[in-house]
Amino acid sequence: MPYVPVIGLEIHAQLKTATKIFCGCKTDFGAAANTQTCPVCLGLPGALPVLNRHAVDLAIRAGLALECTVHETSIFARKNYFYPDSPKGYQISQYERPLATGGRLQLSSGAVIGITRIHMEEDAGKSLHHGFADSDRHTRIDLNRSGTPLIEIVSEPDVRSAADAADYFSRMRDILVAIGVNDGNMEEGSLRCDANVSLRPNADAPFGTRTEIKNVNSFKYLEQAIEFEMARQAEVLDAGGTIHQETRLFDNATGRTESMRTKEDAHDYRYFPEPDLRPLVVSAAWIETERQAMPELPEARTARFVAAFGLSEYDAKQLVYVIPGGADYLELAVNAGGSAKANTNWILGEVRRKLKDAGREDMSACAVTPGALAELTHLTERDVISSTVAKDVFEKMWATGRGAKAIVEAEGLAQVGDTDALGAAVAEVLAANPDAVTQYRAGKTNAFGFLVGQAMKSMKGKANPKVINELLKAALDRL
């Protein structure tokens, strides 16, 4: 029996602050266990939280980028639950009055996904189950991550396929990284997605019971996890069974989701307003400051590349969304005086090929600076070198770090565009190939190509082919 899926996503994004949300401890990843802790983030009784102002800046910025209403007053609340890596026995989050509500995010397909809410909260610590001599008997706790500032972005149940869910997650990452809210580092857990999935018999039927897949940290895994979960639920429903609301975990290795626990309802958490923090009040001026500080969003940047640089939409998207650092690189090349189109062609062509050879995809691994690439494209545009020679020069630039002009001069690679020198070569070629000339005059057009080839050869490839063509035509006409 066919079903149609309903999907809603919850994304936890770590805010890019130097210190934690309620204390001054560092948020650096990878420090020795429990070295970035204090009484507040260890959850010692009596230690009082103080809100990190910059975390609020970033959360506001995320709200604006996702077209939410950012509320003047929001309230922190305690979400009570027991977990070994959360020593306080509760997490400070926002519940009834979150910072922002009612936004939207557009997918690549143009479909719009509603954003229900964005709230601020603190992360928990980490339980370490592996890698110790006594791992079979003990679990250890690292509280460095405890108190790391997060926003949780909850979507409406508007997503309709696993592929769209992955696209949503990826668009979200692009936006959050572009506005400096998140570092995009998914392997380090800076961005994690929970997927709520349910099935219904058709698009008009009421929503079915959902399961929630926790903490997926790659686009590919998200798509796989949802595909698996849809198939699993369909099988249960086909057999006449019912879906239980539960929390499931995705196993990257098997590609399956496994039941983790039955899902709590909100009332199980016994939320209540956090007595140690005042309501968060965000003035209109504060919101305005963040609006002004907001860099250009990826969508707007793509549109500008098309309108101002004359790039195709496809190429613009490759630079903005696909190649990390691609758009910044192009802007630097253009600022250095290069043509946007020519430099884009190089980035999407030769540069990308070289990166791939090096097993990389981000422009930070490009050995040729934007200014140097701009110089190279200048030489081809002014016909100083042919495109074939340019590829050769590019290889040398990549390998040696030398500039395009320097290489062309040192190796005498400049095209000869001088009509006197080329005219002499053309005359010689015509004299040496009377048969081809006769054929050409009898209407055999490929004889012309042969003569061009001979002339280029006599100039050792350094002739400007355009000039050779013109001179040859003129000479043949005169004969």
With beta carbons less than 8 A apart as the criterion, state whether 329 and 318 touch: no
Is residue 230 involved in binding Zn ion (CB under 5 A)?
A: no
Residue linked to tokens 């758009």:
327
- Among residues 452, 424, 423, which one has the least CA distance to residue 437? 452
The total of other beta-carbon atoms located within 10 Å of residue 106's CB is 13
Residue linked to tokens 């954003």:
115
Which residue, 34 or 209, has its beta carbon nearer to ligand ADP?
209
Instruction: Give which of Zn ion, ligand ADP, Mg ion, none residue 27 binds (C-beta under 5 to 8 Å, depending on kind).
Output: none
Which residue, 40 or 282, has its beta carbon nearer to Zn ion?
40
Report CA-CA distances (Å) from 311 to 16, 106, 270, 341: 32, 22, 54, 6
The residues that touch ligand ADP, with contacts defined as CB under 6 A, are 6-10, 154-157, 196-198, 207, 210, 212
Closest CB 3 distance from ligand ADP, rounded Å: 12
Instruction: Give which of Mg ion, Zn ion, ligand ADP, none residue 467 binds (C-beta under 5 to 8 Å, depending on kind).
Output: none
CA dihedral 167, 64, 114, 79 (to 10 degrees): 100
Closest CB 154 distance from ligand ADP, rounded Å: 5
If DSSP codes are grouped into helix, strand and coil, which group holds residue 42? coil
Pick the piece of the chain touching Mg ion (CB under 5 A) from 8-16, 119-127, 246-254, 370-378.
Answer: 8-16
Is residue 38 involved in binding Zn ion (CB under 5 A)?
A: yes
Instruction: Give which of ligand ADP, Mg ion, Zn ion, none residue 88 binds (C-beta under 5 to 8 Å, depending on kind).
Output: none
Both structure tokens of 118: 């964005």
DSSP annotation of 197: E
Is residue 336 involved in binding Zn ion (CB under 5 A)?
A: no
Is residue 10 involved in binding Mg ion (CB under 5 A)?
A: yes
Which residue, 179 or 197, has its beta carbon nearer to Mg ion?
197
Report CA-CA distances (Å) from 413 to 386, 390, 445, 454, 464: 9, 9, 30, 19, 11
Is residue 246 involved in binding Mg ion (CB under 5 A)?
A: no
Report the C-alpha gap between 127 and 111 in whole angstroms: 39
Pick the piece of the chain touching Mg ion (CB under 5 A) from 10-18, 161-169, 278-286, 294-302.
Answer: 10-18
Burial, 94: exposed, middle or buried (Cβ in 10 Å; 0-12, 13-18, 19+)?
A: buried
Nearest to ligand ADP by Cβ — which residue? Answer: 8
CA dihedral 197, 68, 23, 85 (to 10 degrees): -10
Is residue 297 involved in binding Zn ion (CB under 5 A)?
A: no
Report the C-alpha gap between 381 and 362 in whole angstroms: 27
Which residue, 22 or 228, has its beta carbon nearer to Zn ion?
22
With beta carbons less than 8 A apart as the criterion, state whether 408 and 384 touch: yes
β 4-14/149-155 pair status: antiparallel
Report the C-alpha gap between 215 and 11 in whole angstroms: 9
Chosen residue from 7, 13, 25, 447 binding Zn ion by CB under 5 A: 25
Is residue 41 involved in binding Zn ion (CB under 5 A)?
A: yes
Closest CB 49 distance from Zn ion, rounded Å: 9
Closest CB 142 distance from Zn ion, rounded Å: 13
Pick the piece of the chain touching Zn ion (CB under 5 A) from 40-48, 259-267, 313-321, 383-391.
Answer: 40-48
Instruction: Give which of ligand ADP, Zn ion, Mg ion, none residue 207 binds (C-beta under 5 to 8 Å, depending on kind).
Output: ligand ADP
For the chain, the residue count is: 479
CA dihedral for 200, 203, 204, 207, sign (positive or negative): positive
**Side chain identity, residue 308:** A
Q: What is the size of the binding site for Zn ion (CB under 5 A)? A: 5
Which residue, 94 or 182, has its beta carbon nearer to ligand ADP?
94
Is residue 414 involved in binding Zn ion (CB under 5 A)?
A: no
- Residue 152 region by backbone torsions, left for phi larger than 0, else alpha for psi between -120 and 50, else beta: beta
Instruction: Give which of Zn ion, ligand ADP, Mg ion, none residue 23 binds (C-beta under 5 to 8 Å, depending on kind).
Output: Zn ion
- Give the helix/strand (H/E) hosting 437: helix 434-441
Instruction: Give which of Zn ion, Mg ion, ligand ADP, none residue 157 binds (C-beta under 5 to 8 Å, depending on kind).
Output: ligand ADP
Residues numbered 183 to 202 that lie near Zn ion (CB under 5 A) are none
Site string for Mg ion, 35-74 (x = CB under 5 A): ----------------------------------------
Residues that bind Mg ion (CB under 5 A): 10
Residues that bind Zn ion (CB under 5 A): 23, 25, 38, 40-41
